[in-house]
Protein backbone atom coordinates (compact mmCIF):
# COMPACT_ATOMS: atom_id res chain seq x y z
CA UNK A 1 0.00 0.00 0.00
CA UNK A 2 1.37 3.45 -0.92
CA UNK A 3 1.01 6.66 1.14
CA UNK A 4 -2.73 7.44 1.14
CA UNK A 5 -4.84 10.37 2.35
CA UNK A 6 -8.38 9.50 3.48
CA UNK A 7 -10.73 12.45 2.92
CA UNK A 8 -14.32 13.10 3.91
CA UNK A 9 -15.89 14.36 0.68
CA UNK A 10 -19.12 15.79 2.13
CA UNK A 11 -19.79 17.58 5.45
CA UNK A 12 -18.10 14.97 7.63
CA UNK A 13 -19.57 11.85 9.29
CA UNK A 14 -19.08 9.89 6.06
CA UNK A 15 -17.73 6.81 7.83
CA UNK A 16 -14.02 7.61 7.65
CA UNK A 17 -13.34 5.70 10.87
CA UNK A 18 -14.52 2.43 9.39
CA UNK A 19 -12.66 2.98 6.12
CA UNK A 20 -9.42 3.86 7.90
CA UNK A 21 -9.88 0.71 9.95
CA UNK A 22 -10.11 -1.25 6.68
CA UNK A 23 -7.00 0.37 5.16
CA UNK A 24 -4.95 0.32 8.38
CA UNK A 25 -3.78 -3.33 8.27
CA UNK A 26 -1.66 -2.53 5.20
CA UNK A 27 -0.22 0.67 6.69
CA UNK A 28 2.72 1.07 9.04
CA UNK A 29 1.82 4.54 10.33
CA UNK A 30 -1.60 6.16 10.71
CA UNK A 31 -1.47 9.95 11.10
CA UNK A 32 -4.16 12.41 12.15
CA UNK A 33 -3.37 15.78 10.57
CA UNK A 34 -6.01 18.40 11.55
CA UNK A 35 -8.95 19.22 13.80
CA UNK A 36 -9.33 18.31 17.44
CA UNK A 37 -11.75 16.47 19.68
CA UNK A 38 -14.62 18.16 17.84
CA UNK A 39 -14.64 15.18 15.48
CA UNK A 40 -15.39 11.54 16.11
CA UNK A 41 -14.46 8.41 14.19
CA UNK A 42 -16.57 5.35 14.97
CA UNK A 43 -15.36 1.78 14.47
CA UNK A 44 -17.47 -1.30 15.29
CA UNK A 45 -15.56 -4.53 16.00
CA UNK A 46 -17.94 -7.34 16.89
CA UNK A 47 -19.88 -6.16 19.93
CA UNK A 48 -17.41 -3.37 20.72
CA UNK A 49 -17.96 0.16 19.50
CA UNK A 50 -15.01 2.56 19.60
CA UNK A 51 -15.51 6.31 19.19
CA UNK A 52 -12.15 8.06 18.81
CA UNK A 53 -11.83 11.84 18.81
CA UNK A 54 -8.07 12.46 18.76
CA UNK A 55 -6.17 9.19 18.48
CA UNK A 56 -6.02 7.77 14.94
CA UNK A 57 -8.37 4.82 14.58
CA UNK A 58 -5.45 2.68 13.38
CA UNK A 59 -4.64 2.26 17.09
CA UNK A 60 -7.14 -0.62 17.06
CA UNK A 61 -4.68 -2.69 14.98
CA UNK A 62 -1.77 -4.28 16.83
CA UNK A 63 1.68 -3.02 15.99
CA UNK A 64 0.60 0.09 14.10
CA UNK A 65 2.27 3.42 14.92
CA UNK A 66 -0.20 6.27 15.39
CA UNK A 67 0.78 9.93 15.19
CA UNK A 68 -1.13 13.09 16.11
CA UNK A 69 0.37 15.66 13.75
CA UNK A 70 1.29 19.30 14.22
CA UNK A 71 -1.94 20.41 12.51
CA UNK A 72 -4.10 18.96 15.30
CA UNK A 73 -5.14 20.97 18.36
CA UNK A 74 -4.99 18.77 21.45
CA UNK A 75 -7.09 18.92 24.59
CA UNK A 76 -4.91 16.96 27.09
CA UNK A 77 -7.85 16.02 29.30
CA UNK A 78 -9.78 14.57 26.36
CA UNK A 79 -6.67 12.79 25.11
CA UNK A 80 -5.98 11.14 28.46
CA UNK A 81 -9.60 10.03 28.75
CA UNK A 82 -9.34 8.44 25.31
CA UNK A 83 -6.10 6.65 26.23
CA UNK A 84 -7.73 5.35 29.41
CA UNK A 85 -10.76 4.11 27.48
CA UNK A 86 -8.55 2.20 25.04
CA UNK A 87 -6.40 0.66 27.75
CA UNK A 88 -9.50 -0.52 29.65
CA UNK A 89 -10.51 -2.36 26.49
CA UNK A 90 -7.10 -3.98 26.20
CA UNK A 91 -5.67 -1.71 23.49
CA UNK A 92 -1.99 -0.96 24.13
CA UNK A 93 -1.15 2.70 23.54
CA UNK A 94 2.31 3.29 25.03
CA UNK A 95 5.08 2.89 22.48
CA UNK A 96 2.56 3.19 19.64
CA UNK A 97 1.16 6.69 20.06
CA UNK A 98 3.17 9.83 19.32
CA UNK A 99 2.21 13.51 19.38
CA UNK A 100 3.95 16.26 17.43
CA UNK A 101 5.79 18.59 19.77
CA UNK A 102 4.47 21.50 17.69
CA UNK A 103 0.79 20.56 18.05
CA UNK A 104 -1.11 23.35 19.80
CA UNK A 105 -2.80 22.80 23.17
CA UNK A 106 -6.41 23.65 24.05
CA UNK A 107 -6.95 25.42 27.39
CA UNK A 108 -10.06 26.11 29.48
CA UNK A 109 -10.17 29.70 28.24
CA UNK A 110 -10.43 28.41 24.66
CA UNK A 111 -13.49 26.35 25.54
CA UNK A 112 -15.07 29.29 27.38
CA UNK A 113 -14.45 31.67 24.48
CA UNK A 114 -15.97 29.13 22.10
CA UNK A 115 -19.08 28.91 24.27
CA UNK A 116 -19.45 32.67 24.68
CA UNK A 117 -18.92 33.46 21.01
CA UNK A 118 -21.52 30.87 20.03
CA UNK A 119 -24.01 32.52 22.39
CA UNK A 120 -23.43 35.81 20.59
CA UNK A 121 -23.37 34.48 16.99
CA UNK A 122 -25.89 31.65 17.51
CA UNK A 123 -25.48 30.36 13.96
CA UNK A 124 -22.17 28.61 13.38
CA UNK A 125 -22.93 25.41 15.28
CA UNK A 126 -19.58 24.99 17.04
CA UNK A 127 -19.08 22.00 19.33
CA UNK A 128 -17.80 24.39 22.06
CA UNK A 129 -14.65 22.29 22.45
CA UNK A 130 -12.35 25.31 22.08
CA UNK A 131 -11.11 24.34 18.64
CA UNK A 132 -11.66 27.66 16.86
CA UNK A 133 -10.18 29.87 19.61
CA UNK A 134 -7.14 27.58 19.82
CA UNK A 135 -6.55 27.87 16.07
CA UNK A 136 -7.08 31.63 16.38
CA UNK A 137 -4.27 31.81 18.93
CA UNK A 138 -2.09 29.71 16.65
CA UNK A 139 -2.57 32.13 13.75
CA UNK A 140 -2.15 35.13 16.09
CA UNK A 141 1.19 33.59 17.23
CA UNK A 142 0.14 33.48 20.85
CA UNK A 143 -0.67 29.76 21.06
CA UNK A 144 0.96 27.27 23.41
CA UNK A 145 2.39 24.14 21.79
CA UNK A 146 3.15 20.79 23.34
CA UNK A 147 6.87 21.68 23.38
CA UNK A 148 6.02 24.86 25.31
CA UNK A 149 3.88 22.95 27.79
CA UNK A 150 6.78 20.59 28.50
CA UNK A 151 9.16 23.48 29.28
CA UNK A 152 7.84 25.02 32.50
CA UNK A 153 9.69 28.32 32.12
CA UNK A 154 8.28 28.84 28.64
CA UNK A 155 4.86 27.58 29.71
CA UNK A 156 4.65 30.04 32.61
CA UNK A 157 5.53 33.01 30.40
CA UNK A 158 3.10 32.06 27.62
CA UNK A 159 0.25 31.20 29.97
CA UNK A 160 0.65 34.52 31.81
CA UNK A 161 0.67 36.44 28.52
CA UNK A 162 -2.48 34.66 27.36
CA UNK A 163 -4.36 35.29 30.59
CA UNK A 164 -3.23 38.94 30.68
CA UNK A 165 -4.81 39.30 27.24
CA UNK A 166 -7.94 37.21 27.72
CA UNK A 167 -9.02 37.78 31.32
CA UNK A 168 -10.06 41.40 30.69
CA UNK A 169 -12.19 40.13 27.79
CA UNK A 170 -13.95 37.68 30.09
CA UNK A 171 -14.56 40.18 32.90
CA UNK A 172 -15.20 43.41 31.00
CA UNK A 173 -16.86 42.26 27.78
CA UNK A 174 -18.60 39.01 28.71
CA UNK A 175 -19.02 39.76 32.44
CA UNK A 176 -17.85 36.29 33.50
CA UNK A 177 -15.21 35.15 35.97
CA UNK A 178 -11.56 35.43 35.02
CA UNK A 179 -9.31 32.35 34.89
CA UNK A 180 -6.74 31.62 37.59
CA UNK A 181 -3.13 31.31 36.48
CA UNK A 182 -2.29 29.00 39.40
CA UNK A 183 -5.23 26.67 38.78
CA UNK A 184 -4.49 26.25 35.06
CA UNK A 185 -0.75 25.95 35.63
CA UNK A 186 -1.24 23.22 38.20
CA UNK A 187 -3.76 21.31 36.09
CA UNK A 188 -1.70 21.45 32.90
CA UNK A 189 1.60 20.71 34.60
CA UNK A 190 -0.07 17.51 35.69
CA UNK A 191 -1.09 16.78 32.11
CA UNK A 192 2.45 17.50 30.91
CA UNK A 193 3.83 14.83 33.23
CA UNK A 194 1.44 12.27 31.79
CA UNK A 195 1.61 13.05 28.06
CA UNK A 196 5.25 14.11 27.77
CA UNK A 197 6.27 10.53 26.94
CA UNK A 198 4.24 10.74 23.73
CA UNK A 199 5.94 13.92 22.41
CA UNK A 200 8.11 13.61 19.31
CA UNK A 201 9.48 15.43 16.28
CA UNK A 202 6.82 14.01 14.00
CA UNK A 203 8.21 15.71 10.87
CA UNK A 204 11.49 13.82 11.23
CA UNK A 205 9.72 10.61 12.26
CA UNK A 206 7.38 10.53 9.26
CA UNK A 207 9.91 11.60 6.64
CA UNK A 208 12.41 9.05 7.95
CA UNK A 209 9.67 6.41 7.75
CA UNK A 210 9.01 7.30 4.11
CA UNK A 211 12.74 6.98 3.33
CA UNK A 212 12.56 3.48 4.79
CA UNK A 213 9.62 2.68 2.46
CA UNK A 214 7.11 2.55 5.31
CA UNK A 215 3.47 3.01 4.35
CA UNK A 216 1.57 5.95 5.81
CA UNK A 217 -2.19 6.47 6.05
CA UNK A 218 -3.22 10.09 6.60
CA UNK A 219 -6.47 10.52 8.52
CA UNK A 220 -8.46 13.75 8.38
CA UNK A 221 -11.35 14.89 10.54
CA UNK A 222 -14.63 16.49 9.42
CA UNK A 223 -15.23 16.79 5.66
CA UNK A 224 -14.30 18.90 2.65
CA UNK A 225 -17.37 21.12 2.88
CA UNK A 226 -16.28 22.09 6.41
CA UNK A 227 -12.80 23.12 5.23
CA UNK A 228 -12.05 26.72 6.23
CA UNK A 229 -11.01 27.59 2.65
CA UNK A 230 -13.09 25.29 0.45
CA UNK A 231 -16.23 24.71 2.51
CA UNK A 232 -19.51 26.56 3.11
CA UNK A 233 -17.80 29.49 4.82
CA UNK A 234 -18.49 30.75 7.49
CA UNK A 235 -20.31 27.53 8.45
CA UNK A 236 -17.06 25.58 8.55
CA UNK A 237 -14.44 24.26 10.94
CA UNK A 238 -11.25 26.18 11.74
CA UNK A 239 -8.74 24.04 9.85
CA UNK A 240 -8.07 22.54 6.43
CA UNK A 241 -9.94 19.24 6.27
CA UNK A 242 -8.90 18.83 2.62
CA UNK A 243 -5.89 16.93 1.28
CA UNK A 244 -3.72 20.04 1.50
CA UNK A 245 -4.17 19.95 5.27
CA UNK A 246 -2.33 16.63 5.35
CA UNK A 247 0.77 18.38 4.06
CA UNK A 248 0.78 21.35 6.39
CA UNK A 249 -0.52 19.27 9.28
CA UNK A 250 2.30 16.73 9.18
CA UNK A 251 5.28 18.26 7.39
CA UNK A 252 5.21 15.57 4.70
CA UNK A 253 5.60 17.06 1.22
CA UNK A 254 3.05 16.55 -1.59
CA UNK A 255 5.51 14.56 -3.71
CA UNK A 256 5.39 11.83 -1.06
CA UNK A 257 1.65 11.21 -1.48
CA UNK A 258 0.53 8.45 -3.83
CA UNK A 259 -3.25 8.51 -3.59
CA UNK A 260 -6.24 10.45 -2.20
CA UNK A 261 -9.35 8.41 -1.37
CA UNK A 262 -12.66 10.22 -0.84
CA UNK A 263 -15.36 8.84 1.48
CA UNK A 264 -19.02 9.64 0.78
CA UNK A 265 -22.33 8.41 2.07
CA UNK A 266 -24.90 7.11 -0.41
CA UNK A 267 -26.90 10.16 0.67
CA UNK A 268 -25.78 13.40 2.35
CA UNK A 269 -25.64 14.59 5.97
CA UNK A 270 -24.36 17.56 7.92
CA UNK A 271 -24.40 18.64 11.56
CA UNK A 272 -24.97 22.22 12.64
CA UNK A 273 -25.96 25.32 10.76
CA UNK A 274 -25.31 26.32 7.16
CA UNK A 275 -26.71 25.78 3.67
CA UNK A 276 -27.75 22.27 2.66
CA UNK A 277 -29.43 22.26 -0.79
CA UNK A 278 -30.64 18.64 -0.85
CA UNK A 279 -32.01 18.48 2.72
CA UNK A 280 -35.01 16.19 3.16
CA UNK A 281 -38.48 17.20 4.19
CA UNK A 282 -39.35 16.15 7.74
CA UNK A 283 -40.95 12.76 7.03
CA UNK A 284 -38.03 11.50 4.94
CA UNK A 285 -35.57 13.11 7.35
CA UNK A 286 -37.02 11.17 10.28
CA UNK A 287 -36.95 7.92 8.30
CA UNK A 288 -33.32 8.17 7.16
CA UNK A 289 -32.05 9.60 10.43
CA UNK A 290 -33.53 6.70 12.37
CA UNK A 291 -32.40 3.96 9.99
CA UNK A 292 -28.93 5.46 9.50
CA UNK A 293 -28.38 6.26 13.19
CA UNK A 294 -27.63 9.83 12.18
CA UNK A 295 -26.54 11.37 15.45
CA UNK A 296 -23.16 13.03 15.94
CA UNK A 297 -20.39 10.81 17.37
CA UNK A 298 -18.96 13.77 19.30
CA UNK A 299 -21.99 15.85 20.28
CA UNK A 300 -24.91 13.44 19.90
CA UNK A 301 -26.69 16.12 17.88
CA UNK A 302 -29.14 14.81 15.26
CA UNK A 303 -27.69 15.12 11.78
CA UNK A 304 -29.49 16.83 8.94
CA UNK A 305 -29.99 14.44 6.03
CA UNK A 306 -30.60 14.83 2.31
CA UNK A 307 -30.26 13.25 -1.12
CA UNK A 308 -26.86 12.57 -2.68
CA UNK A 309 -25.42 15.85 -3.97
CA UNK A 310 -23.03 15.28 -6.87
CA UNK A 311 -22.27 19.02 -7.10
CA UNK A 312 -20.80 18.89 -3.59
CA UNK A 313 -18.81 15.71 -4.20
CA UNK A 314 -17.48 16.85 -7.60
CA UNK A 315 -16.20 19.95 -5.79
CA UNK A 316 -14.47 17.65 -3.30
CA UNK A 317 -12.96 15.52 -6.06
CA UNK A 318 -11.56 18.67 -7.62
CA UNK A 319 -10.07 20.41 -4.57
CA UNK A 320 -8.62 17.22 -3.06
CA UNK A 321 -7.43 15.49 -6.20
CA UNK A 322 -9.50 12.44 -5.22
CA UNK A 323 -8.66 9.43 -7.37
CA UNK A 324 -10.92 6.82 -5.75
CA UNK A 325 -14.28 6.89 -3.98
CA UNK A 326 -15.66 4.76 -1.13
CA UNK A 327 -19.47 4.70 -0.74
CA UNK A 328 -20.84 4.05 2.75
CA UNK A 329 -24.31 3.38 4.14
CA UNK A 330 -25.81 2.15 0.89
CA UNK A 331 -28.04 -0.11 2.99
CA UNK A 332 -29.83 2.88 4.54
CA UNK A 333 -31.58 3.41 1.18
CA UNK A 334 -32.77 -0.21 0.89
CA UNK A 335 -36.46 0.44 1.60
CA UNK A 336 -37.03 3.44 -0.68
CA UNK A 337 -39.30 3.26 -3.73
CA UNK A 338 -37.26 5.86 -5.57
CA UNK A 339 -34.02 7.74 -4.96
CA UNK A 340 -32.87 11.17 -6.12
CA UNK A 341 -29.45 12.46 -7.11
CA UNK A 342 -28.75 16.18 -7.30
CA UNK A 343 -26.89 17.00 -10.52
CA UNK A 344 -26.95 20.83 -10.45
CA UNK A 345 -28.47 23.87 -8.70
CA UNK A 346 -30.88 26.49 -10.01
CA UNK A 347 -30.89 30.05 -8.65
CA UNK A 348 -32.80 32.99 -10.13
CA UNK A 349 -32.98 31.30 -13.52
CA UNK A 350 -29.29 30.39 -13.66
CA UNK A 351 -28.04 26.80 -13.63
CA UNK A 352 -25.01 25.98 -11.49
CA UNK A 353 -23.19 22.76 -12.30
CA UNK A 354 -20.18 23.75 -10.18
CA UNK A 355 -20.23 24.46 -6.46
CA UNK A 356 -20.97 28.18 -5.92
CA UNK A 357 -18.81 30.20 -3.53
CA UNK A 358 -21.56 32.78 -2.95
CA UNK A 359 -23.27 31.74 0.31
CA UNK A 360 -26.45 33.55 -0.76
CA UNK A 361 -26.69 31.44 -3.91
CA UNK A 362 -25.96 28.27 -1.98
CA UNK A 363 -28.56 29.10 0.68
CA UNK A 364 -31.29 29.99 -1.81
CA UNK A 365 -30.72 27.59 -4.68
CA UNK A 366 -33.01 24.73 -5.66
CA UNK A 367 -31.46 21.32 -6.39
CA UNK A 368 -32.03 19.85 -9.85
CA UNK A 369 -32.62 16.11 -9.46
CA UNK A 370 -32.45 12.90 -11.41
CA UNK A 371 -34.75 10.23 -10.01
CA UNK A 372 -33.95 6.53 -10.07
CA UNK A 373 -35.96 3.48 -8.96
CA UNK A 374 -35.06 1.96 -5.59
CA UNK A 375 -34.11 -1.69 -5.14
CA UNK A 376 -36.38 -2.60 -2.20
CA UNK A 377 -34.10 -5.41 -1.02
CA UNK A 378 -31.88 -5.90 2.04
CA UNK A 379 -28.22 -5.32 1.14
CA UNK A 380 -26.68 -5.70 4.61
CA UNK A 381 -25.67 -9.33 4.04
CA UNK A 382 -24.29 -8.83 0.55
CA UNK A 383 -20.56 -9.56 0.26
CA UNK A 384 -19.87 -8.80 -3.42
CA UNK A 385 -20.84 -6.11 -5.88
CA UNK A 386 -22.07 -8.72 -8.34
CA UNK A 387 -24.74 -9.79 -5.83
CA UNK A 388 -26.25 -6.32 -5.41
CA UNK A 389 -29.78 -5.71 -6.72
CA UNK A 390 -29.78 -4.39 -10.29
CA UNK A 391 -31.11 -0.97 -9.30
CA UNK A 392 -28.48 -0.59 -6.59
CA UNK A 393 -25.79 -1.24 -9.21
CA UNK A 394 -27.39 1.34 -11.50
CA UNK A 395 -27.42 3.88 -8.66
CA UNK A 396 -23.72 3.36 -7.94
CA UNK A 397 -22.82 3.44 -11.62
CA UNK A 398 -24.65 6.73 -12.07
CA UNK A 399 -22.81 8.28 -9.12
CA UNK A 400 -19.51 7.02 -10.52
CA UNK A 401 -20.25 8.51 -13.93
CA UNK A 402 -21.29 11.87 -12.48
CA UNK A 403 -18.12 12.09 -10.38
CA UNK A 404 -15.88 10.70 -13.12
CA UNK A 405 -14.10 8.84 -10.33
CA UNK A 406 -13.99 5.12 -9.67
CA UNK A 407 -15.87 3.65 -6.71
CA UNK A 408 -13.52 1.10 -5.15
CA UNK A 409 -15.36 0.09 -1.96
CA UNK A 410 -19.00 -0.12 -0.88
CA UNK A 411 -20.15 -0.38 2.74
CA UNK A 412 -23.54 -1.84 3.69
CA UNK A 413 -23.30 -1.73 7.49
CA UNK A 414 -21.17 -0.60 10.40
CA UNK A 415 -19.19 -3.83 10.95
CA UNK A 416 -15.82 -4.55 9.36
CA UNK A 417 -17.16 -7.41 7.26
CA UNK A 418 -19.99 -5.40 5.73
CA UNK A 419 -17.78 -3.97 2.99
CA UNK A 420 -16.87 -5.15 -0.47
CA UNK A 421 -15.04 -4.02 -3.58
CA UNK A 422 -15.12 -3.02 -6.42
CA UNK A 423 -17.33 -1.90 -9.27
Q: Examine the residue annotation and report whether 378 is marked as an active-site residue of this protein.
A: no
For residue 240, CA distances in Å to 25, 54, 67, 221 come to 26, 16, 18, 9
C-alpha to C-alpha distance for 20 and 27, rounded to whole angstroms: 10
Pairing of strands 97-100, 199-200: parallel
Distances (CA, A) of 366 to 35, 123, 354: 31, 22, 14
* Annotation says 230 is catalytic: no
Instruction: State how far the Cα of 309 lies from the Cα of 37, in Å rounded to an integer.
Output: 27
Contact assessment for residue 377 and residue 389, using Cβ atoms and an 8 Å cutoff: yes
Q: CA triplet 205, 207, 208: central angle to 5 degrees?
A: 65
Which regions of 188-332 does DSSP assign to beta strands (E)? 199-200, 216-219, 259-265, 268-270, 304-306, 308-309, 324-328
Q: CA 313 to CA 355: how far, in whole Å?
A: 9
Catalytic residue among 13, 21, 148, 309: 13
Q: How many residues make up the chain in this entry?
A: 423
Instruction: Report DSSP state, residue 225.
Output: G
> Can you name the residues that pair with 6 across neighbouring β-strands?
219, 261
Report DSSP state, residue 129. Answer: S
Chain-centroid distance of CA 370 in Å reads 29
Q: Which entry of 41, 53, 110, 230 is annotated as an active-site residue? A: 41
Q: How far apart are CA 138 and CA 167, in angstroms?
A: 18
Q: Is the dihedral of CA 151, 75, 133, 110 positive or negative?
A: negative
Residues with catalytic roles: 13, 41
Amino acid sequence: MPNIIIIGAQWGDEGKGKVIDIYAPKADYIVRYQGGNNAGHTVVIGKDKFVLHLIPSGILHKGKICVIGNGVVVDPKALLEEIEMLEKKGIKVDGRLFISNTAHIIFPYHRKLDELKELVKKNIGTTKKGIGPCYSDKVARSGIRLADLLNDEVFRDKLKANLDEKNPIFSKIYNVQEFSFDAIHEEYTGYAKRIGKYACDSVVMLNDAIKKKKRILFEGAQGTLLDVDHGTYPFVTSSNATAGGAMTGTGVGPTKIDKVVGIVKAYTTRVGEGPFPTEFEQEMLDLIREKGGEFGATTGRPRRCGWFDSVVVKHSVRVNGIGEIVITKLDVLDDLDSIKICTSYEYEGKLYKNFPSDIKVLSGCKPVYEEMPGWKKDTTRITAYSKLPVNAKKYLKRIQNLLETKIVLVSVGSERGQTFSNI
